[in-house]
Amino acid sequence: VSGVSGASGDSYIPKSEAFPEPETPISPYYKDVQTRFLSEDRAPRTVFADVEAMKEKVRDAIFEPKYNVCDYYKEEGLCQRMARHPHFETFCLGVVAANAIWISVETDYNSQDVLTKADIGFQLMQHLFCFFFVFEWIVRFTAFEKKINGFRDQWFALDSLL
């Protein structure tokens, strides 16, 4: 085949001669893949399935009310008033932090394996922490209007397990 010179002096080779068909036939599986994925009538793929549906999900997530355990408390009563109070929550977190520090102190200085054999100071502190955590649990449990909601709250359920 005689070539046609281009502007750069290259000779033009027809496509059929430049890329000849392979001698080995293509398997039917790959022909099927070519037919399905390279056909002209196939709809173009997008990165996101449905942009409008995604926007709607984002809007729903933004305007969804935040979870607040106080929504499940009673409207009246001493325990719900205590459980809702920000000072109660702050105090409880402070006691949890103090307990963590006390555990490290006890680990370093209490050589006894059993609490009943330990020094009276270690026993007293353990009993005080236990008393407070039981008191906190009772206040929060009695604050719930429906008691089953207490076990649906993840923090209260964790406290119940501990």
Q: What is the pLDDT of residues 26-82, one digit of tens each?
A: 666 666 666 666 655 656 566 667 778 888 888 887 887 888 888 999 999 999 999
Residue whose pair of structure tokens reads 């999900």 in the numeric block: 57
Q: At what angle do helices 154-161 and 120-143 cross, to 10 degrees?
A: 140
CB 20 within 8 A of CB 1: no
Q: 64: buried, middle or exposed (CB in 10 Å: 19+, 13-18, 0-12)? A: exposed
pLDDT digits (tens, 9 = 90+) for 135-161: 999 999 999 999 998 888 888 888 888
Q: Which band of pLDDT confidence, cut at 50, 70 and 90, is reported for residue 83? A: very high
Integer angstrom CA distances of residue 130 from 110, 124, 157: 18, 10, 17
pLDDT at 48: 63
Q: Say whether pTM exceeds 0.75.
A: no
pLDDT at 10: 58
On the question of pLDDT at 121 being above 60, the answer is: yes
The Cα angle at residue 55 between residues 49 and 61, in degrees rounded to 5? 120
Show Cβ contacts of residue 115 under 8 Å, excluding neighbours closer than 6 positions.
122, 123, 126
Give the residue-averaged pLDDT of 110-115: 92
pLDDT at 53: 83
Minimum mean pLDDT range among 13-17, 89-93, 122-126: 13-17
Which is more confident, 119 or 6? 119
Give the residue-averaged pLDDT of 115-119: 94
pLDDT at 66: 82
Over the range 85-97, which residues count as b (16 or more CB within 10 Å of their CB) and which as e? eeeeeeebeebee
